[in-house]
Amino acid sequence: MRLRSFIPAVVLTVPLWGQAKAPSAAEAAQQIGQIRAKLQGKLDSGDREADVARREEDFDRTKEIVSSFVIARVEASPDLNALDLRDSLIQVLGANHDKGLGPDSFHQPPYIFRIEPPYLSNRPVVFAVVYDGDIYPGAGGARIVVESYALDQGKVRLAGRAGSELNGIVMRENRGGAQQVGANEVLVQGQVGWASGHVLPFGAALRAIWRERDRRRHSVEPHGHSRLARERLRQPPYGRISRREA
């Protein structure tokens, strides 16, 4: 199977301030569960392209629910650490984690990184959030979302969202994951979903979680070396992810 290289694409979003009241964890989990149930059905073989487009719209609703929840959660507790936010997001996303795995449970999404500003800097605190989902069962249906949230003077905004360059990549079941690299970058990697054979294709993207143009603009952006082609590799591009919390 010949695999094409991918080009990272960033979709910057407007702040979510001023929206309707954010859902509670239980409400968000219920809404996302309903969307997930719709997406578990088989694709419409009669009009596959239109069905995929509808499912992308449904998954976009999941992203907005997650964003509203994260913003409300962090604004309510500005000192919230990465692990506590992750626990809340696991509940919202309905992620099934085997606690018997111990430290290995941290290999599973969602991943949260809290990036503190340098000492005496006027930069905001930034949260990096990475999670996954599926818009349909089978090859090509996996989706990964990479977001950054800026916490500045008690207010939180969604500063950027990316991940479309990793469509079809699975980062579960020891196939990859996300980890912080350096002060402000997150490496996301995984295996092409439903790949078979002894030599398995992997994909990866390195994301700069913030770029400071001015105090009001921080975003998820592609790193200068993030064009990593999906290749037939015997190991993930950067080896197995190990636990590394911000």
Residue 65 lies in a domain: yes
Domain encompassing residue 227: 10-98+106-233
Residue 181 lies in a domain: yes
Residue 77 lies in a domain: yes
User: Which pTM value belongs to this model?
Assistant: 0.77
Residue 59 lies in a domain: yes
Question: DSSP string of 81-123?
Answer: -HHHHHHHHHHHHT----GGGGGGGGGSSPEEEEEPPPTT--P
Collapsing DSSP states into helix, strand and coil, what is residue 140?
A: coil
Residue 20 lies in a domain: yes
User: According to the per-residue pLDDT averaged within each range, which of 2-6, 20-24, 204-208, 226-230 is highest?
Assistant: 204-208
Please tell me the total count of domains within the chain.
Answer: 1
Per residue in 139-166, pLDDT (tens digit) is: 889 999 999 999 999 999 999 898 888 8
Q: Please enumerate in sequence order all residues whose Cβ is within 8 A of that of 17, keeping only pairs 6 or more positions apart, or say none.
A: 155, 157
Q: Are strands 185-192 and 200-208 parallel, antiparallel or unpaired?
A: antiparallel
Residue 186 lies in a domain: yes
Report residue 81's pLDDT band, with 50, 70 and 90 as the boundaries.
Answer: very high
Residue 3 lies in a domain: no
Please answer whether residues 58 and 35 qualify as being in contact, where contact means their C-beta atoms are separated by less than 8 angstroms.
yes
Q: How far apart are CA 198 and CA 211, in angstroms?
A: 40
Report residue 204's pLDDT band, with 50, 70 and 90 as the boundaries.
Answer: confident
**Residue 52's pLDDT is what?**
95
Residue 2 lies in a domain: no
Tokens at 176, concatenated: 């990859």
Q: Are strands 111-115 and 10-11 parallel, antiparallel or unpaired?
A: unpaired
**Residue 117's pLDDT is what?**
86
Q: Are strands 125-134 and 142-152 parallel, antiparallel or unpaired?
A: antiparallel
